[in-house]
Amino acid sequence: MATLMIRYHPFQQILTFSLKDMCFVEDPEQSVSLCDWDDLITVIGSNVVLDIRREIYSSLEYTTSAGISRNKNTAKLAGGFLKPDNQTIILNSQIPSFMKKFELNDINGMGGKAGDQILRRFNVPPDVNSIEYLNQLPAKDLSVEEYPNLYDIVQGDFSQPLRDRVEIKSMMSRKQMMAKNPIKTVYDSIDWIKTFAGDLCNRLEDLDEESGVLTRPRTVSVNIHIKGSSNSKQCSIPVVKDLKKLEALIIASCMTLIVELLNSMFDLARLNSVEKLDFKNIHPYNKIDIPHIHNIACIISNLAKLENSIDVFTTSDKSSANKKLFEQFEQEQKKNVESQTADPVVQPKMNKVYINKLFQKYEQDQSKEPVTQKKEPSAPNKAPTKTKRPSAAPEKVPISNPSSKKPKYNILDSLKNRTNKSSSPGPTSRDVDPSSSTYYCDICRDSFPDSQEHKDYHFALELSKSLN
């Protein structure tokens, strides 16, 4: 019998509904008052449960029992309280008296070793009601580390989140091949692996929309059926948020697993009459013969829930940082795609005439400087005879002061002479007499009259290289 206890103002009535007789019976002698809105919601829920039980009986002719309460533990106790054709409604005010009708081992999760351990720890006598005995103890005594919710459980106040569906732990996509058209090469399985990966990613997308939380796999496995035996191999993959990247990762992982699995079962190199298989250069997938595969499947498992949900990210620093990283990565990907599709940028050619003018101006400025008379060093202090710099035909450059006796210093000619003298050995700077007025360059392996001018030459040479 299913009993609905409702007090209507200004009159009261009890409705007893029998699923077998399919009729209501009024009993005005019994009634229960609704004290608050929680009781009203509980009664409304009982009407929904009654409709479900009625549909089950009309379709399958099965009688059912049900329990309605404010939490799952007390509702489970009420569901089995009046079997086989009743539903029990436990209002908030009736929970303490209702819990005294049961023992601790009757509560969900407290049966077996867990309940016995608690009874021994608190020295519960066997001839008394265990829940009533534990309710008399102070709350601080029941707060044990192993069972932090023990006090709420025996009080009937322990609430748990209700899940509207069974939590999915794995997904599989499978194909049974026809006997006339099996998989004969590794390449034949690629199309099916791509189909499996796309199907699994679509199902993950549907799961994300239903649950409101991003769920991604951490393990990929492949199962194949050859000659009456089934074999499988799995590997771990990183948690990837983007479904397109996850699809490509599943395809690559499955192809590697198939080759490794077939190699462990059969010697593919010997089967294809080669010493060693090289998938990249010599032996593509469509040239590798394998035993006929009649059944192939791709499985993703070890599903992990990401911290960031679909609707909103959490306010923690870690989640916000992850969100910024995802956004930066997506922006970089868009920029890379745009740069690949855009027309190549033509670099403007540098005007080398302007650089030549700079060198000419530099020579003109050097020629304008007054020539200082230097004393010739005495004979004993002269350094050993040095090879003179070979003369080269200087370029015709207009000189503002033709009467200057100082020779022109042509940087381009010095560059040519440098290549000729770099191979020939010459004295180092240590071999030169420090009292000598000449300057010896270790790079050019030659001596020059003016050290500052030659250092300017090297500076200009480096500038020319950087500009060209």
8 Å CB contact between 63 and 19: yes
User: Are 56 and 140 found together in one domain?
Assistant: yes
In a domain, 337, yes or no: no
Count of structural domains, the chain: 3
As a whole number of angstroms, the distance between CA 62 and CA 64 comes to 6
User: Are 223 and 270 found together in one domain?
Assistant: yes
How much is the pLDDT for 381? 46
User: Are 416 and 277 found together in one domain?
Assistant: no
Domain boundary among 93, 126, 155: 155
8 Å CB contact between 432 and 438: yes
Place of tokens 């019976």: 25
How much is the pLDDT for 301? 92
Alpha-helical regions (H) of 61-187: 72-79, 95-99, 113-121, 130-135, 139-142, 150-155
How much is the pLDDT for 245? 92
In a domain, 211, yes or no: yes
Domain boundary among 91, 125, 155: 155
As a whole number of angstroms, the distance between CA 147 and CA 119 comes to 12
8 Å CB contact between 43 and 6: yes
How much is the pLDDT for 288? 66
User: What's the pTM?
Assistant: 0.37
φ/ψ of residue 185, rounded to 5: -130, 165
User: Are 409 and 459 found together in one domain?
Assistant: yes
Determine the straight-line distance between the first and last CA of the chain, rounded to whole angstroms: 98
How much is the pLDDT for 341? 54
8 Å CB contact between 199 and 299: no
User: Residues of 271-291 as b/e, b for ≥16 C-beta within 10 angstroms?
Assistant: eeeeeebeeeeebebeebebb
User: Are 17 and 93 found together in one domain?
Assistant: yes
DSSP for 293-315 reads ESEEEEEEES-EEEEEESS---S
Gyration radius (Cα) of the chain, Å? 46
Domain extent for 414 = 352-366+384-467
User: Are 118 and 189 found together in one domain?
Assistant: no
User: Are 143 and 179 found together in one domain?
Assistant: no
Domain boundary among 121, 155, 189: 155
8 Å CB contact between 75 and 81: no
User: Are 134 and 67 found together in one domain?
Assistant: yes
| Count of CB atoms situated within 10 Å of the CB of 258 | 23
How much is the pLDDT for 100? 87
In a domain, 163, yes or no: no
Place of tokens 């209702």: 98
Place of tokens 């560059």: 415
8 Å CB contact between 351 and 405: no
8 Å CB contact between 284 and 251: no
In a domain, 123, yes or no: yes
To the nearest 10°, the Cα dihedral for 108, 111, 116, 122? Answer: 10
In a domain, 335, yes or no: no
For the chain, the farthest-separated pair of C-alpha atoms sits apart, in whole angstroms, at 142
Element (DSSP H or E) covering residue 257: helix 243-265
In a domain, 37, yes or no: yes
Task: Report the CATH number at residue 232.
Answer: 3.30.1490.100
Sequence-distant (6+) residues with CB within 8 A of 3 are 14, 15, 16, 17, 86, 87, 88, 89
Residue type (1 letter), 203:
R
User: Are 151 and 7 found together in one domain?
Assistant: yes
User: Are 148 and 207 found together in one domain?
Assistant: no
User: Are 9 and 77 found together in one domain?
Assistant: yes
CA distances from 43 to 8, 90, 166, 319 (A): 12, 9, 26, 41
Task: Report the CATH number at residue 102.
Answer: 3.30.70
φ/ψ of residue 388, rounded to 5: -80, 155
In a domain, 347, yes or no: no
Residue type (1 letter), 208:
D
User: Are 292 and 223 found together in one domain?
Assistant: yes
Structure tokens at 338: 């745009």
8 Å CB contact between 222 and 251: no
In a domain, 427, yes or no: yes
φ/ψ of residue 164, rounded to 5: -80, -10
Under-70 pLDDT residues of the chain:
1-33, 162-165, 267-289, 307-359, 361-362, 365-437, 450, 466-468
Query: Measuring CA to CA, which residue among 81, 111, 109, 83 is closest to residue 95?
Result: 81
